[in-house]
Amino acid sequence: MKTMATPKSASSFVPSTATMRAIAVLPGQPGTAHLRQVPRPQLNEIPNGRGVLVRVLRVGVDGTDKEINAAEYGQAPPGDDYLIIGHEGFGRVEAVGPEVTELAVGDYVVATVRRPGTSLYDIIGTNDMTTDETYFERGINLRHGYLAEYYVEDVEFVVKVPSGLREIGVLLEPLTVVEKGIAQAYEIQRRLRVWHPRRAAVMGAGTIGLLAAMALRLRGLDVTVFGLRQKPYRNAELLEAIGARYISTKDTPIPEAAKEFGPWDIMFEATGNSFVVFESMQVLGKNGVLVLSSVTGGDNRIEIPADRINLQFVLGNKVMVGTVNANREYFETGVKDMAQCEAQFAGWMERLLTHPVKGIENVEELFRTLTTARDAIKVYCDIAPV
Ligand code: BGC
Ligand code: ZN
Residue 378 is predicted with a pLDDT of: 98
pTM: 0.95
For ligand 2, a single-atom ion, which residues have Cβ within 5 Å? Answer: 62, 64
So what's the pLDDT on residue 297?
Answer: 85
At residue 350, the 3 state secondary structure works out as: helix
pLDDT at res. 307: 98
Strand partners, 34: 24
Q: Which atom of ligand 1 is nearest to the CA of 73?
A: 12
- How distant, in Å, are the alpha carbons of 84, 118, 128, 172, 229 from that of 122? 24, 6, 8, 22, 40
Ligand 1 atom 11 nearest Cα? 64
Q: Domains, the chain, ranges and CATH?
A: 16-161+354-382 (3.90.180.10), 176-322 (3.40.50.720)
pLDDT along the chain (386 residues), means of 10: 42 63 97 98 97 98 97 96 98 98 98 98 97 98 98 98 98 98 98 98 98 99 98 98 98 98 98 98 98 94 98 98 98 98 98 98 98 96 98
**Is there an atom of ligand 1 within 6 Å of 66 CB?**
no
Contact between residue 378 and residue 355 where contact means Cβ atoms under 8 Å apart: yes
Report how far ligand 2's centroid is from the alpha carbon of 50 (Å): 26
Please, which residues have CB within 8 angstroms of residue 330's CB and are 6 or more apart in sequence?
128, 176, 179, 180, 183
Pocket flag, ligand 1, residue 180 (CB < 6 Å): no
CA of 294 to the centre of ligand 2 (A): 11
Cα 347 to Cα 301: distance, rounded to the nearest angstrom: 41
